[in-house]
């Protein structure tokens, strides 16, 4: 599987404006738009460039901030649909996410929406989202979207404060009838710079839990933890290698979730710059939303050309890394988080310090 010619996903940060104030926010979102956000016509140019990859276009993810803060979002979605560009939307759970807004997203042709659930208890989720009552609204909005026939993916940001709640969150997600659970492993950028992260042992625990969960009827995706592929390869051989007490307790909490089947993790994932590309609120192109390295701007350069020819992206795809990630036997299926490597060292080609194997 290769992503050298076209990415799977193009993320467009439509705005930095958001009614929430989440502790880990990559965008350090604020209550109103900032100068330089792309206009409607410039946004349509982004859509045109996604279409220009040729063949089956990548999925364009309208993200933010909260894309519902843009009054022109319906026009942009209509343009994407008319252009044949598949798209998903990542709204914040706020007063903007009304029944009418959900119905509009469905009618516009969104393949899915992603809604964040970061705790199994109101106290945990609301502390992360920093708005009281968000937990109840999140569960209710997921139900409402499902009842409208809108595809829903639940995203969970994993950090030290909510790791042990993952089994209970699994129960909530599965109980709501959601089919896709995306686990986002914290990268300390933006507001997240001050959030307590997992230790490498904690990452290993979370990945082993994710592998178990992926065998119990949910499609599980891990973001900024590509070493899940190493964990899955070991586990699929019957190597029950990880015996950490926290993990064993979390595994036991899954014991009533049904009989394990095949893992849904898949053989190879994406990395920032390898299957993923990010367009900022002002059109600046980055390898991913958590790597603030500018590669160009869609107002002056072609997105497909940048993706295919940029030296940094080609180095990422060739796994030309320094340190342990550069010599790792699992580099082809993993490659480490390029965003975490950059956040910790200033070098997007450095080793990922969260990986026990990379640190060996």
Summarize the confidence of residues 103-112 as an average pLDDT. Answer: 95
CB 67 within 8 A of CB 14: yes
* Average of per-residue pLDDT values in the chain: 93
207 three-state secondary structure: helix
* Fold classification of 9-272 (topology level): TIM Barrel (3.20.20)
Report DSSP state, residue 133. Answer: T
Of all residues in the chain, the percent with pLDDT exceeding 90 is 85
Question: Which pLDDT value is given to residue 190?
Answer: 67
Question: How long is the chain?
Answer: 360
pLDDT tens sequence across 39-48: 999 999 999 9
Domain boundaries, the chain: 9-272, 319-360
Q: What is the rounded distance in angstroms from the CA atom of residue 124 to the CA atom of residue 119?
A: 5
- Phi/psi zone of residue 344: left (φ > 0), alpha (ψ -120 to 50 degrees), beta? alpha
Region 297-307: mean pLDDT is 98
Distance CA 288, CA 224 (A): 10
Confidence of residue 131 (pLDDT cuts 50, 70, 90): confident
pLDDT over 80 (residue 23): no
Across 17-21, 70-74, 299-303, least confident range:
17-21
pLDDT tens digits for range 238-291? 999 999 999 999 999 997 878 899 999 977 789 999 999 999 999 999 999 999
Q: What is the pLDDT of residue 191?
A: 61
**pLDDT band at residue 93 using 50, 70 and 90 as cut-offs:** very high
CA-angle at 354, arms to 359 and 115, nearest 5°: 160
């Amino acid at each position: 599987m290769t992503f050298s010619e076209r990415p799977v996903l193009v993320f467009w940060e439509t705005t930095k404006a958001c009614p929430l104030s989440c502790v880990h926010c990559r965008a350090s979102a604020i209550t109103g738009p900032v100068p330089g956000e792309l206009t409607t016509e410039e946004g349509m140019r982004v859509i045109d460039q996604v279409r220009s990859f040729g063949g089956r276009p990548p999925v364009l993810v309208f993200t933010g901030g909260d894309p519902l803060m843009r009054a022109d979002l319906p026009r942009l979605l209509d343009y994407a649909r008319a252009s044949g560009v598949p798209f998903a939307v990542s709204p914040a759970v706020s007063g903007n996410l009304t029944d009418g807004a959900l119905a509009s997203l469905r009618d516009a042709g969104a393949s899915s929406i992603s809604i964040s659930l970061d705790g199994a208890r109101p106290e945990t989720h609301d502390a992360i989202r920093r708005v009281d009552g968000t937990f109840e609204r999140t569960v209710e909005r997921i139900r409402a979207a499902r009842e409208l026939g809108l595809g829903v993916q639940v995203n969970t940001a994993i950090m030290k404060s909510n790791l042990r709640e993952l089994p209970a969150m699994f129960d909530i997600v599965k109980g709501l009838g959601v089919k896709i659970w995306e686990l986002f492993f914290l990268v300390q950028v933006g507001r997240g710079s001050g959030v307590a992260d997992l230790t490498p042992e904690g990452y290993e625990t979370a990945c082993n839990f994710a592998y178990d969960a992926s065998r119990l009827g949910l499609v599980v995706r891990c973001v900024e933890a590509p070493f899940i592929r190493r964990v899955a390869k070991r586990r699929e051989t019957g190597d029950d290698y990880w015996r950490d007490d926290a993990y064993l307790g979390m595994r036991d909490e899954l014991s009533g979730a049904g009989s394990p089947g095949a893992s849904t993790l898949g053989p190879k994932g994406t990395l920032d710059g390898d299957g993923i590309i990010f367009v900022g609120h002002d059109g600046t192109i980055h390898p991913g939303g958590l790597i603030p390295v500018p590669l160009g701007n869609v107002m002056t350069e072609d997105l497909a050309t940048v993706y295919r020819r940029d030296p940094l992206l080609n180095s990422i795809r060739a796994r030309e890394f320094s340190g342990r990630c550069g010599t790792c036997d699992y580099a082809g299926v993993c490659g480490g988080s390029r965003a975490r490597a950059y956040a910790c060292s200033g070098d997007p080609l450095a080793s990922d310090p969260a990986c026990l194997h990379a640190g060996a």
